């Protein structure tokens, strides 16, 4: 283990109403500078959906009702793809849940749930059953779902992939009338069950996983009642598993979270048991296959969490977020401090071929990036939220020239948020902790 010189700083971000209640076993993901949070458990299961503006430290409750929206969920997953959030699993175990494919899609532009029938009887072929405590990651245009706890079966080693494919392209045109769409989003043709190789991770739940390039990395979790401390690599191209050996690193962990940071996998919190949360942050270098335990900045708070969620924002966490993705032309933060002081001249990287094709589509109301800038000279934490220092913005606040909203995303500093988790510690509003690395 390489202790290294890196250190992390934890800062509590107080929340004011309206805000979601504190919770655990929820799911969250980041998209376009917002964090989306769904469901989980407080004293009972929750059926609510929230959007968090990281820059302004403001919550907005989104609709989560009707047949197209999910019911109360726990230990589910959320994956974002081209402006749509894919929610999978987490239903309460019942005969009712066995008749449904536990997949829902939310349109972040229209802020509504996509309407379709999810009854298994209407589909042909094999589709995944409801589960909890699984993992879901996105590699390219595919979502990989591994393991989870399946009712009456226990820990599962099922491995599924879901092809966004044609369905996502149809959604981008805003066509929700499935009588005229040949590719139903829940069509079993989009689900593929991968072979359960003898060399794979085996049955498990309460583990973590990330995607990096054409690879998926999976750590820890429970096999039945036994905690694990193994790290597995899935090659999406060759479709093979391999176990990564190491001599030192984190202990056996369950109920932890993982995020991608640059060329590393960060493991946050969790515990050797679900009743003994830890405060450690471990960094696994995906190139050198070495672990490093991150130290705390002197005086920083120690954070103990299990069954929380972690999301990363900024270019080091969202490595592919700026490639070919459009940003909406909205004015949600017109009257807030604008970025950014001492900007460098923008440079324009080569776009992927798929991105160029998307730009030629006549999609009204969408604004594409014309240039990119990747330098932020000064950032500063003001008050309790993530804001930016920009004295020049104050000088010209009456000017007709406004910085574009996508500048905020391009210049957002690298920051990781930990939301909720046990122990709940008596907070009514959800606990939000911000971590930055030196």
When comparing pLDDT for 327 and 128, which is higher? Answer: 128
Residue 221 has pLDDT above 70, yes or no: yes
Nearest 5°: phi and psi at 103?
Answer: -130, 130
Residue 53 has pLDDT above 90, yes or no: yes
Q: Which long-range contacts (CB under 8 A, 24 or more apart) does 43-49 make?
A: 45/72, 45/73, 45/74, 45/92, 46/21, 46/72, 47/71, 47/72, 47/73, 48/20, 49/106
Residue 268 has pLDDT above 90, yes or no: yes
Pairing of strands 295-296, 7-12: parallel
125: left (phi over 0), alpha (psi -120 to 50) or beta: left
Distance between CA 340 and CA 377 in Å, rounded?
8
Give domain status of residue 35, yes or no. yes
Lowest-pLDDT range of 77-86, 120-129, 175-184: 175-184
Structure tokens, 379: 């950032």
Give domain status of residue 376, yes or no. no
CA 266 centroid distance within chain:
13
For 53-91, b where at least 16 C-beta lie within 10 A, e where not — what string? Answer: bbbbbbbeebebeeebbbbbbbbbbbbbbebbbbbbbbb
Distance between CA 226 and CA 221 in Å, rounded?
8
- Nearest-5° angle of CA 55, CA 35, CA 15? 60
Local confidence band at 92 (pLDDT 50, 70, 90 cut-offs): confident
pLDDT for 101? 84
Structure tokens, 421: 């988790």
- The CATH number assigned to the domain holding 69 equals 2.120.10.80
Q: What is the pLDDT of residues 113-154, one digit of tens each?
A: 986 655 554 455 678 999 999 999 999 999 999 999 998 899
Give domain status of residue 382, yes or no. no
The DSSP annotation for 134-174 comes to: -EEEEETTEEEEE--EETTTEE---EEEEE-HHHHHHHHTT
State the average pLDDT over residues 250-264: 95
Averaged pLDDT of the chain? 78
Local confidence band at 25 (pLDDT 50, 70, 90 cut-offs): very high
Count of helix runs (H) and strand runs (E) in the chain: 4, 31
State the average pLDDT over residues 3-31: 89
pLDDT for 127? 85
Distance between CA 282 and CA 431 in Å, rounded?
22
- Domain total for the chain? 1
* Domain coverage including residue 176: 7-317+414-437
When comparing pLDDT for 133 and 301, which is higher? Answer: 133
The answer to whether 291 touches 8, Cβ cutoff 8 Å, is no
State the average pLDDT over residues 207-221: 97
């Amino acid at each position: 283990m390489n202790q290294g010189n890196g250190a992390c700083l934890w800062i509590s971000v107080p929340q004011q109403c309206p805000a979601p209640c504190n919770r655990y076993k929820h799911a969250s993901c980041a998209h376009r500078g917002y964090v989306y949070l769904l469901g989980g458990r407080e004293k009972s299961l929750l059926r609510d959906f929230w959007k968090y503006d990281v820059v302004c430290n403001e919550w907005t409750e989104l609709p989560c009702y009707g047949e197209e929206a999910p019911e109360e969920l726990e230990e589910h997953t959320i994956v974002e793809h081209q402006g749509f959030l894919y929610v999978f699993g987490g239903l309460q175990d019942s005969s009712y849940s066995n008749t449904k494919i536990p997949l829902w899609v939310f349109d972040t532009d229209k802020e509504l749930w996509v309407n379709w029938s999810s009854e298994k009887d209407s589909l042909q072929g094999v589709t995944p059953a409801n589960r909890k405590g699984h993992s879901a990651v996105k590699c390219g245009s595919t979502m990989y779902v591994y393991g989870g706890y399946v009712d009456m079966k226990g820990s599962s080693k099922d491995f599924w992939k879901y092809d966004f494919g044609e369905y996502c392209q149809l959604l981008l045109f805003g066509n929700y009338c499935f009588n005229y769409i040949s590719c139903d989003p829940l069509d079993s043709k989009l689900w593929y069950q991968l072979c359960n190789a003898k060399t794979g991770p085996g049955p498990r739940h309460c583990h973590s996983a990330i995607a990096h390039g054409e690879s998926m990395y999976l750590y820890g979790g429970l096999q039945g009642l036994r905690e694990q401390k193994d790290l597995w690599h899935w090659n999406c191209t060759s479709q093979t598993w391999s176990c990564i050996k190491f001599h030192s690193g984190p202990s056996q962990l369950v109920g932890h979270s993982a995020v991608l940071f640059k060329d590393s996998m960060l493991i946050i919190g969790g515990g050797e048991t679900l009743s003994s949360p830890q405060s450690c942050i471990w960094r696994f270098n995906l190139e050198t296959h070495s672990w490093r335990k991150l130290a705390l900045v002197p005086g920083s708070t120690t954070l103990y969490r299990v069954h929380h969620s972690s999301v990363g924002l900024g270019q080091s966490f969202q490595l592919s977020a700026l490639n070919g993705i459009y940003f909406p032309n909205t004015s949600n933060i017109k009257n807030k401090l604008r970025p950014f002081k001492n900007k460098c001249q923008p440079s324009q990287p080569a776009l992927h071929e798929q991105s160029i094709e998307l730009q030629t589509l006549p999609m009204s109301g969408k604004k594409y990036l014309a240039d990119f800038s990747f330098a932020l000279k000064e950032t500063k934490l003001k008050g309790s939220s993530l804001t930016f220092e920009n004295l020049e913005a104050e000088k010209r606040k009456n000017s007709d020239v406004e910085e574009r909203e996508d500048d905020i995303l391009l210049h957002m500093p690298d920051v990781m948020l930990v939301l909720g988790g046990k122990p709940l510690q008596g907070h009514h509003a959800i606990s939000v902790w911000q971590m930055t690395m030196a």
